[in-house]
Structure 1
């Protein structure tokens, strides 16, 4: 079952909670605070102009870049976990490993090796 429980904001890295609601899809999650921040930027022409063509990492120190790496990895791991949950959902709907592999551009066996749960996909074989 796909849930938001235990997820983090893909933008600031804060864990979701009763006080920090997360919304999103396709693995990425965003907290209300980040939505508000981005909304304010998008609706302020001067702020948009100041940010045009720049990236946050352009002005970050080496220490800031290093400190951000664990957040990037946590977000990537969250997306990988979501892909596994999505494949579980497909398998619950009796979508074949062959169809999953075809969709991903890999063989049935490669899809099974990547996504089959170690406890086994007991109802469906590769």
Structure 2
């Protein structure tokens, strides 16, 4: 089942909680704080001009970039887990491994090898 439980904000890395609501779809999750921050930038011409063309890592020290790497990996792992949940959802709907593979541009076997859960859906047919 696809769930937001245990997810983190894909932008700031904060875990969702009762106090920090996450909103999202297609793997990315965003907290209300990041939405508010983004809204402030989008609706303030000066802040928008300041942010335009600037990437966070351009002003970060090496130590800050290194410290951010675990958040980047957590977000990537979250998206990988979401892809697995999505494939599980498709399999529950009796979508074949062949169709999943075709959609991903890989063979049925490659899709199965990547997404079949150990102890879960091991069927190679359907």
Q: CA deviation at 1:53?
A: 1.2
Gaps of 5+ in 1: none
The equivalent residue for 1:16 is: 16
Q: CA deviation at 1:7?
A: 0.3
3-state SS of paired residue (2:82) = helix
The equivalent residue for 1:125 is: 124
Runs of 4+ in 1 over 2 A off after TM superposition: none
The equivalent residue for 2:7 is: 7
- Distance in structure 1 (CA, Å) of the matches to 2:104 and 2:90: 13
Q: CA deviation at 1:120?
A: 3.0
The equivalent residue for 1:33 is: 33
3-state SS of paired residue (2:39) = helix
Deviations 1:40-60 (A, max 9, x none): 000000111111111111000
3-state SS of paired residue (2:18) = coil
Q: How does the TM-score come out when normalised to structure 1?
A: 0.96
The equivalent residue for 1:115 is: 115
- Distance in structure 1 (CA, Å) of the matches to 2:116 and 2:55: 38
Does residue 84 (structure 1) correspond to residue 120 (structure 2)? The answer is no
Q: CA deviation at 1:18?
A: 0.4
Q: How does the TM-score come out when normalised to structure 2?
A: 0.96
Gaps of 5+ in 2: none
- Distance in structure 2 (CA, Å) of the matches to 1:100 and 1:65: 36
The equivalent residue for 2:94 is: 94
- Provide the alpha-carbon RMSD of the alignment: 0.9
- Distance in structure 1 (CA, Å) of the matches to 2:93 and 2:124: 14
